[in-house]
Amino acid sequence: MTKRDFISIRDFSNEEMIGLFAVADRMQRLLRSSHGLLAGHIMGSLFLEPSTRTRLSFESAMNRLGGRVITLADAGASSFSKGETLADSVQMVGSYTDVIVLRHPRAGAARLAAKIAPVPVINAGDGGHEHPTQTLCDLYALRRVKGKLDGLKVVLYGDLKYGRTTHSLALALVGFGSDVLCISETGLDLPDYVRQDCRENGDVEDHEVAICGMERLFGEARRGILFTRDPAAWGLEDDALDLAGRELDAIYVTRLQRERLAPDERDRTRGLPSVDTAFLAERPFENAVVLHPLPRLDEIHPDVDRDPRGLYFRQAAWGVPIRMALLSYLLGTELVEAGDSPARPVRPLASDERCTNANCIVNDPQAAVEGEARTAREGGDRCAFCDAPLARS
Ligand code: NCD
C-alpha cells in the first residue's frame, strides 16, 4: 500500500473529509475508553515553530488512541542547529516512528519531508502556506453547528496574506460549494496563487467588491474579494456589495501574523475593528458563528466567549477527535471512503526556473534541495512545494 500524506487540504477529496468527520464523531464518544486502537504505534512530533493547540491536540490524540509520542519541539536543542538538513532529519525520524507531524517555518517543508520520509507525514503548518489539519477542525466545527458545508456564506477576516489557516480553509470551503468573502487587513490580502487555486478548486469566480452598508463597523467602504458561483444571491451590482442586507453563516477571524511580516510591514497595526458584541449585533452577523484558529490577541473581545455564537474554544477542543480520526486513517486502522482522491503530479524544474517565494524550502540553503528533488506542479508554472509562482531567469 502506498503511504498517504496530508500536506495540503487539496490532498483529500470531499468524500474523504466527510468520512473523517464520521470517524471523529465516533472518536469523540471513545475519547476516554482505553481501546488502544493505535497501540504499538509511535508518532514523531517535530515542531520547529511555536505551537500550543496543534502539538498538544496531536499528542493528546495519539495518547488517547493508546499510541506513543516522541517530540522535538525546540530546534535549538536538535541537530538542526548543527546544520543538518530537513531531509536527513525526517529520513531518520521516519525510521524511529510510524507517522511524522511536522511544523516548520518554511513554506513547502512538509511536502519535502513527505517525499523523503518512509512514513506518512502530516503538515501541522508550513510557513505562511497551509495548515490543513486546522482546516479539518474548522470544517468539522462549522458542520456540527450549521449542519452542512455547502451553500454557506463565510467571511474570512484579518491577515489573509500570511494566515496559513485561511489559505487551506478558503480552498476547502469553495471546494465544498460554499461562498467565501475575504475582508483583509489593508495590504494583507489572500495571495494571488491561492485565489487562482480557489477558482480552480471550487469552479468559482472571484469578484473584487466594495463592501457597503457597514460604515458603522468599517468607517469607510472596504474592499473585499468574494468567491461565489451565484453573485445574484449576494445582490452584487457592478462591484458594490451591500452587506447590510445579507445574512452570513460564519466569520473566521485571524490575528496579524507578526512573525511573518516583511520588514516593511512590521510597524503595521490592525486596521479592522475587533469582533465584539456591538459588531455581532449588526444584522449580517446575527446568526453567524465566530471561529478563530487561536491564539487570539485582541481581534475578538472576551465578551464574545460567553456568546453562544463564539465557537473558537469548542473548535479547538474538537481538534482532538479530528486528529484521532486522521492518525487512525493514515495509519490504516480506520477505513474511509476516499472518493476521487486528487493526484498531484509533478515535473522536474527546468534549469532556468525558480520559485518566487523567498520563504519556500527550496530557497533555503540549509535544506539543500537540489537536482531531481526540485519539482514544479505538472501542467503549470507553480512550485510543487509551496504552490507559489515560478519565474524564469
Ligand atoms: C494557527 C497557526 O499556527 O497557523 N494556530 C493554530 O495552529 N491553531 C494560527 C495562528 O498562529 O495565528
pLDDT in tens, 275-290: 999 999 999 999 999 9
Cα 134 to ligand 1 centroid, rounded to whole Å: 8
Cα 38 to ligand 1 centroid, rounded to whole Å: 27
Average pLDDT, the chain: 95
Per-residue pLDDT tens over the stretch 111-164 = 999 999 999 999 999 999 999 999 999 999 999 999 999 999 999 999 999 999
**Ligand 1: which of 9, 57, 131, 140 to mutate, judged by most atoms within 8 Å of the beta carbon?**
131
Q: Is 69 helix (H, G, I), strand (E, B) or coil?
A: strand
Q: CA–CA distance from 80 to each of 28, 118, 207 (Å)?
A: 37, 20, 44
Residue 340: pLDDT band by 50, 70, 90 thresholds?
Answer: confident
Cα 239 to ligand 1 centroid, rounded to whole Å: 32
The Cα diameter of the chain in Å comes to: 60
First to last CA, the chain: 40
Atom of ligand 1 nearest to the CA of 293: 8
Which run of H or of E encompasses 166? helix 164-176
Which of 88, 35, 41 has the alpha carbon at shortest distance from 69?
41
User: What one-letter code names the amino acid at 136?
Assistant: L
C-alpha cell at 178: 460554499
Per-residue pLDDT tens over the stretch 53-102 = 999 999 999 999 999 999 998 877 777 778 889 999 999 999 999 999 99
- The sign of the CA dihedral 137, 140, 144, 145 is positive
Q: How many CB atoms lie within 10 A of CB 76?
A: 7
Q: How many CB atoms lie within 10 A of CB 270?
A: 15
Give the pLDDT confidence score for residue 82 in this predicted structure.
83
User: What one-letter code names the amino acid at 378?
Assistant: E
Give the pLDDT confidence score for residue 1 in this predicted structure.
65
Give the pLDDT confidence score for residue 122 in this predicted structure.
98
Burial 179-192 (b: 16+ CB within 10 A, else e): bbbbbbbeebbbbe
Give the pLDDT confidence score for residue 85 in this predicted structure.
92
Q: pLDDT above 70 covers what percent of the chain?
A: 99
Q: Whose CA is nearest to atom 6 of ligand 1?
A: 293
How many Å apart are CA 7 and CA 326, to the nearest integer?
A: 12
DSSP string, 349-379: PPTTEEES-TTBGGG-GGG---GGG-EEETT
Which of 120, 167, 203, 185 has the alpha carbon at shortest distance from 387?
167
Atom of ligand 1 nearest to the CA of 54: 7
C-alpha cell at 276: 465584539
Atom of ligand 1 nearest to the CA of 257: 12
Which of 1, 7, 12 has the alpha carbon at shortest distance from 343?
12
Long-range contacts of 75-84 (CB under 8 A, 24+ apart): 75/48, 80/48, 80/366, 83/366
Atom of ligand 1 nearest to the CA of 294: 8
Tell me if 382 sits within 8 A of 388, measured CB to CB: yes
C-alpha cell at 325: 480520526
Q: Residue 270 pLDDT > 70, yes or no?
A: yes
How many Å apart are CA 25 and CA 29, to the nearest integer?
A: 7
Cα 53 to ligand 1 centroid, rounded to whole Å: 8
Q: How many CB atoms lie within 10 A of CB 4?
A: 18
What are the residues whose beta carbons fall under 8 Å from the beta carbon of 218, sequence distance 6 or more? 211, 272, 273
**Helical H runs in 223-363?**
277-281, 312-317, 319-330
Q: Residue 329 pLDDT > 80, yes or no?
A: yes
Per-residue pLDDT tens over the stretch 192-251 = 999 999 999 988 999 999 999 999 999 877 899 999 999 999 999 899 999 998 999 999
Q: pLDDT above 90 covers what percent of the chain?
A: 86
Cα 238 to ligand 1 centroid, rounded to whole Å: 36
Residues 8-33, mean pLDDT to the nearest whole number: 95
Residue 336: pLDDT band by 50, 70, 90 thresholds?
Answer: very high
Q: Please name every residue paired with 107 in a beta bridge, in sequence order, or none if there are none.
A: 360
- The sign of the CA dihedral 87, 93, 94, 98 is negative
How many Å apart are CA 365 and CA 370, to the nearest integer?
A: 10
Atom of ligand 1 nearest to the CA of 103: 3
Q: How open is the CA angle 58-64-68, to the nearest 5 degrees?
A: 70
How many Å apart are CA 310 and CA 119, to the nearest integer?
A: 38
Cα 127 to ligand 1 centroid, rounded to whole Å: 10
Ligand 1: residues whose CB is within 6 Å?
A: 53-54, 125, 131, 134, 164-165, 254-255, 293-295
Residues 14-27, mean pLDDT to the nearest whole number: 97
Cα 321 to ligand 1 centroid, rounded to whole Å: 18
